[in-house]
Amino acid sequence: MKVFIAGVDGYLGWALAQHLVKRGHTVAGNDIFLRREWVEEVESTSATPVYSIDERLAAFREVHGVDLIFREVDLLDYPALREFLAEFQPDAIVHLAEMPSAPYSMIDQKHAAFTQTNNVIGSLNVLWAMREVCPDAHLVKLGTMGEYGTPNVDIPEGFFEIEYRGRKDVLPFPRQANSFYHLTKVHDTNNTMFACKTWGLRSTDIMQGVVFGTRIDAMGDDPRLFTRLDFDQCFGTAVNRFCCQAVVGHPLTLFGSGHMRRGFLPLRDSIQCLTITIENPPQKGEYRVFNQFEETYTIEELAQKVKEAGAAVGLDVEIGYYENPRTEKHEHYYNPDRQHLIDLGYVPTHDVVAEMKIMLQDLLPHRDRIMEKREILVPDIWWDRERHRAQQISPETTK
């Protein structure tokens, strides 16, 4: 198949491109390297060194024996995007080119407006370009489990049957996102669903949980082929941050009670699931939703697992409790479905501690890089500090 990856220089995109060519697919992709800039803006760096795009593309050709067809094209540059897709004629488009951080979107008005414009208009442009130049392609759109929020009922995969005042219907499950970033994914969901219904496009909207991990097998041991691994408060996700904190002897930064429960999955599972989705496209005009995660865990359970993995590689890991800068529920029900991918053959990697051990071993050689940025490990971006303080929300009151 011909697969186009929007955001191919990123954490998931770079890994996915390698996995797909190993399976015999032809891959093209775009990027304008904003992730590199954002991480610099928040005064951090990737724990694993990230090579220049030229070095990456050369290594890709050398190791995998094929070219990754690459262009520096912004999704907001509609004519350039349209032209690239018209020439490549993809069977599938995997859209990973969004600003992915909740805290970054909550910094101030400028960052919130940038996040919403970049994500929503970029995705809208992909839909229009598909309609105009490749209407049979399958859009694999990266959404987030965060679209659903944490409702006090089970979470289905996108839709649920509801009976209201004596009548029944199958409707989209309510979205209650908890940041301006997560809300962009809700807006994308509505636009994508509408485009499938109106123009007959086909799409899988992936509600992905929090990803962690340093590698997948396709990367081998060539450092030029490794993906990035962020650990700052914006672009580092919980377990990636915890593993970096563990290798420099910083207490793991659990926010509030640490009882928040989310769906998590290793990087290798994310790539496995995206590949299954690409290779099993929906019908023309179909819009479907997959919830994508290995299992649900509380943040505290994951911190305990990092501690266990740390002990196995000789690290004495301390768990710390920090005031939660986000406005989110600490004690809540959380029971999402994730059956669709399993029905298509997804085999979850259940040994999370083994995955964490691999991460710690990959990160230990880069201890000095993380150590240099040690001061940025404790967060200072607040959802609403004044209100938070006024309500005296603290670890003690939320435990």
Catalytic residues, by residue number, are: 144, 181, 185
By CB under 6 A, residue 213 contacts ligand USQ: no
Nearer to ligand USQ, 29 or 263 (CB): 263
Q: Which distant-in-sequence residues (6+ apart) come within 8 Å of 159 by Cβ?
A: 170, 171, 172, 173, 289
Distance CA 9, CA 5 (A): 9
Distance CA 200, CA 115 (A): 28
By CB under 6 A, residue 100 contacts ligand USQ: yes
By CB under 6 A, residue 238 contacts ligand USQ: yes
Residue 287: both structure tokens together: 């819009």
Instruction: Quickly tell me which residue has 């994914």 as its tokens.
Output: 185
By CB under 6 A, residue 158 contacts ligand USQ: no
Residue 164: both structure tokens together: 């209201």
Stretch that binds ligand USQ, among 25-33, 72-80, 155-163, 252-260 (CB under 6 A): 252-260
Stretch that binds ligand USQ, among 87-95, 100-108, 267-275, 339-347 (CB under 6 A): 100-108
* Helix H or strand E segment including 188: helix 180-199
Nearer to ligand USQ, 13 or 100 (CB): 100
Distance CA 245, CA 315 (A): 11
What sign results for the dihedral spanned by CA atoms 217, 219, 220, 226? negative
Distance CA 362, CA 213 (A): 10
* Helix H or strand E segment including 205: strand 202-208
Q: Which of 262, 307, 338, 357 binds ligand USQ (CB under 6 A)?
A: 262
By CB under 6 A, residue 253 contacts ligand USQ: yes
Smallest gap from residue 105 Cβ to ligand USQ (A): 10
By CB under 6 A, residue 101 contacts ligand USQ: yes
Kindly write down the DSSP assignment for every residue of 46-84, as one continuous string.
-SS----HHHHHHHHHHHHSS--EEE---TT-HHHHHHH
Q: Which distant-in-sequence residues (6+ apart) come within 8 Å of 397 by Cβ?
A: none
Distance CA 113, CA 230 (A): 23
Stretch that binds ligand USQ, among 59-67, 165-173, 250-258, 345-353 (CB under 6 A): 250-258
By CB under 6 A, residue 260 contacts ligand USQ: yes
Nearer to ligand USQ, 41 or 91 (CB): 41
* Helix H or strand E segment including 93: strand 92-95
By CB under 6 A, residue 99 contacts ligand USQ: no
Torsion of CA 290, 295, 297, 303, to 10 degrees: -120
Nearest residue to ligand USQ, scored by beta-carbon proximity: 146
Q: Which of 20, 50, 139, 145 binds ligand USQ (CB under 6 A)?
A: 145
Q: Which of 209, 213, 266, 336 binds ligand USQ (CB under 6 A)?
A: 209
Distance of CA 229 to the CA centre of its chain: 12
Nearer to ligand USQ, 198 or 397 (CB): 397
Smallest gap from residue 335 Cβ to ligand USQ (A): 14
Residue 367: both structure tokens together: 């201890």
Stretch that binds ligand USQ, among 2-10, 141-149, 339-347, 383-391 (CB under 6 A): 141-149
For the segment 294-333, give every residue that binds ligand USQ (CB under 6 A): 299, 324, 326, 328
Phi, psi of 171 (to 5 degrees): -125, 160
By CB under 6 A, residue 237 contacts ligand USQ: yes
Nearer to ligand USQ, 35 or 82 (CB): 35
Q: Which of 8, 15, 81, 102 binds ligand USQ (CB under 6 A)?
A: 102
Query: Rule CB under 6 A: which residues touch ligand USQ?
Result: 100-102, 144-146, 208-210, 237-238, 241, 253-255, 258, 260, 262-263, 299, 324, 326, 328
